[in-house]
Amino acid sequence: MGKITSHMTMSLDGFIADPDDGVAELFGWYEAGTVALPTADERWSFTVDEHSAQMLREVMATTGALVCGRRLFDLTSGWDDRHPVGAPVVVVTHHPPQDAGRWKTISFAGSVANGIAEARQIAGDKDVTIASASIAAQALDAGLVDEVTISLVPVLLGKGIPYFAGLARAPHRFDDPVITPGSGATHLRYAVRRA
């Protein structure tokens, strides 16, 4: 059985997007290198440094399913049913879209616990990656997260959407990070410390 991970790109002051859901200040590292990295969706490819490429290759190879919230699903139009990682997506929502049955690689779950359980079944021996801040926070509070990864970008946004906010069971503690330096982002991987 794989790990339950969360991976987001974050500003130095803890935001994963600006107040209008903009990520332009954060996602520059996806084009800050010379290594071409295709994704599972031919519409998307990255040009990153070698260290970031190694990290992203590992993420794409080990992710068997993703979990996100309805907000991200709506913002991305469901990635047109082809997430760049190439894995199926479970959307946690109390209000599935009316066309929920038309999606081939996307399913819908009514709670974080059910979404993680469904994603685990889909992923098999591979990892489940949580790709939404609010879902990551709820899963962390529920004790469902094994590892948190932050691609830390050297920018201060001042305000925006935080990676972890409103935690009900804080503090959460982590082991020392595994650090991967990169151009435009430093990648920090933290194992969640169990009580």
* Domain count within the chain: 1
DSSP 111: S
Name the residue range of residue 46's domain. Answer: 4-191
- pLDDT interval class at 66 (50, 70, 90): very high
Place of tokens 């190694």: 54
Q: Quick check: 166 pLDDT over 90?
A: no
Q: Assign residue 98 the CATH number of its domain.
A: 3.40.430.10
Dump pLDDT digits (tens) for 36-51.
998 888 888 899 999 9
pLDDT of residue 47: 94
Does residue 67 carry a pLDDT above 90? yes
Beta bridge partners of 35: 48
Give every CB contact of residue 102 below 8 A, 6+ residues apart in sequence: none
**pLDDT tens track for 122-145:** 999 999 999 999 999 999 999 999
The mean per-residue pLDDT over the stretch 81-86 comes to 90
CA 137 to chain centre: 12
Burial of 26 (0-12, 13-18, 19+ CB in 10 A): buried
Question: Of 167, 170, 177, nearest to 195 (Cα)?
Answer: 170
Given a contact cutoff of 8 angstroms between Cβ atoms, the answer to whether 141 and 169 are in contact is yes
